[in-house]
């Protein structure tokens, strides 16, 4: 008995590959939807209900379910058609509702009671978009239109009901086409289900894009482990281990295959340390090719965020060439922003030393290779990657990166696809296999059929 109590009091250690598996197959979202349907419908046979609900959840998981809240003078039909063109979702028109009801319906939901009623039957949106027209136009219409007055009265109740889903979109001076395009982009951002998650970030950008300072900022802002691939590779080569010996041998003989395998082992060993597992990490300097990206995806804790810095490589090249080296304190500076160093007699900026010229040439080669490989990397990453314009001011880029991380991860198929579906007819028969359950369909009572929205 005492041993049992001791076992139950031990801290629970979750294997490090559990969370990546749940993220890949989106099990948090799956169980959230399943429990929601169970609570709404409260079936008599929950087991049969869940069995039938599984396929329904998988089918509708990536389909946006949108409720539009807009003033009466806003052209909702045209706006819905634009969303249909951009996203493929089918708008529910007034004619559809009129076919189901003998009374003509002008706007659903019109008030809090109707909003609660459609929630009760299982119509749960993923996005609720409220279009906000310019205030001057709104006031002019309100004076002359009773419908506008009714809309203003019921708006507060609708906002209260859909507070967790609401997205405010200000129309401003935008055309309805631009407004529809912007809202279609918002629909790509999936809803946050509150699932616990640690950031495992890969920040991809060329030398001179500011990736190092950005990564350090994010690591401090979100308490992540900063992982510089080039640094940990140098440290690994200095150790006296079999892996380090393999790295030195590969460097000497230029055996790319073994070199890539050794490098990914270095990364995996580093990100499996307790600090990285507890706090998460942000990696720079790797991957540089699609092959390296695929190797990174095969480790037990692959990245769950891929962020690409979009910047003109010519500007990066100019930054690299303009960098100078302080031979006294051993630091780099930009020649375009080092007036204070020029006036300091103790500071000797050297841009002509032989060693530093070699470093510049090496950086230019790395930049050229990045330009050659980035298109293939982007194609492999697909919709799982988030592109951030790094040409803006440093503060603006940081804010964009932070906002990107605060949103849920992009809703996209995993970079490593699921295993192919096996046709049962291609499997060799084994007498010990269990029989096909369908042979009992004629001798057992039929299961109740449930309907899902």
> Which residue from 336, 333, 340, 339 is spatially nearest to 356, judged by alpha carbons?
333
- pLDDT of amino acid 348: 44
CA-based nearest residue to 299, from 194, 227, 220: 227
Closest by CA position to 401, among listed 411, 391, 410, 390: 390
DSSP H helices, 280-432, are 290-297, 313-322, 339-342, 354-381, 394-406
Cα Rg of the chain (Å, integer): 29
Question: What pLDDT shows up at residue 328?
Answer: 44
Collect the ranges in the chain with pLDDT lower than 50. Answer: 1, 102-106, 255, 325-331, 335-352
The CB-side HSE value for 153 (13 A sphere, CA atoms) comes to 7
Q: Do 338 and 349 meet the contact criterion of CB atoms below 8 Å apart?
A: yes
Torsion of CA 241, 244, 245, 249, to 10 degrees: 170
Q: Do residues 326 and 222 make contact, with C-beta atoms less than 8 angstroms apart?
A: no
Sign of the CA dihedral 120, 121, 123, 129? negative
Per-residue pLDDT of 215-229, as tens digits, reads 999 999 999 999 999
């Amino acid at each position: 008995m005492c041993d049992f109590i001791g076992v139950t009091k031990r801290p629970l250690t979750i294997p490090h590959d559990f969370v990546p598996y749940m993220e890949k197959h989106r099990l948090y979202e799956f169980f959230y939807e399943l429990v929601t349907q169970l609570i709404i419908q409260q079936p008599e046979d929950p087991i049969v209900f869940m069995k039938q609900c599984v396929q329904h959840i998988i089918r509708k998981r990536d389909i946006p379910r949108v409720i539009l809240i807009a003033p009466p003078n806003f052209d909702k039909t045209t706006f819905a058609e634009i969303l249909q063109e951009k996203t493929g979702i089918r708008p529910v028109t007034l004619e559809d509702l009129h076919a189901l009801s003998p009374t003509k319906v002008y706007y659903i939901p019109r008030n809090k009671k109707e909003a609660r009623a459609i929630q009760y039957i299982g119509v749960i949106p993923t996005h609720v978009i409220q279009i906000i027209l310019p205030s001057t136009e709104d006031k002019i219409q309100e004076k002359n239109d009773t419908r506008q007055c009714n809309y203003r009265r019921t708006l507060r109740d609708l906002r209260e009901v859909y507070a967790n889903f609401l997205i405010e979109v200000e129309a401003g001076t935008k055309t309805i086409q631009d407004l529809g395009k912007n809202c279609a982009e918002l629909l790509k951002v999936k809803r946050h289900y509150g699932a616990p998650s640690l950031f495992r970030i890969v920040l991809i950008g060329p030398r001179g894009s500011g990736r190092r300072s950005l990564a350090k900022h994010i690591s401090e802002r979100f308490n992540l482990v900063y992982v510089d691939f080039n640094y940990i590779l140098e440290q690994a080569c200095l150790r006296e281990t079999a892996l380090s010996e393999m790295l030195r041998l590969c460097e000497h003989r230029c055996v790319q295959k073994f070199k890539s395998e050794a490098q990914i082992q270095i990364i995996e060993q580093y990100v499996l340390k307790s600090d990285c597992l507890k706090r998460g990490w942000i990696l720079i300097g790797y991957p540089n090719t699609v092959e390296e990206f695929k190797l990174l995806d095969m480790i037990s804790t692959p990245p769950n965020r891929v962020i690409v810095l979009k910047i003109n490589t010519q500007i990066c090249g100019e930054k690299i060439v303009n960098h100078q080296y302080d031979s006294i304190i051993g630091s780099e500076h930009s020649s375009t922003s080092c007036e204070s160093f020029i006036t300091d007699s103790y500071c000797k900026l050297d841009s002509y030393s032989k060693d530093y010229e070699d470093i510049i040439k090496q950086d230019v080669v790395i930049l050229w290779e990045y330009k050659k490989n980035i298109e293939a990397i982007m194609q492999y990453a697909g919709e799982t990657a988030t592109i951030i314009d790094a040409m803006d001011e440093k503060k603006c880029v940081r804010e964009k990166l932070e906002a990107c991380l605060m949103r849920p991860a992009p809703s996209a198929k995993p970079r490593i696809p699921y295993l192919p579906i096996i046709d049962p007819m291609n499997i060799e028969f084994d007498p010990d296999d269990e029989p096909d359950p369908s042979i009992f369909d004629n001798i057992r009572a039929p299961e109740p059929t449930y309907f899902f929205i």
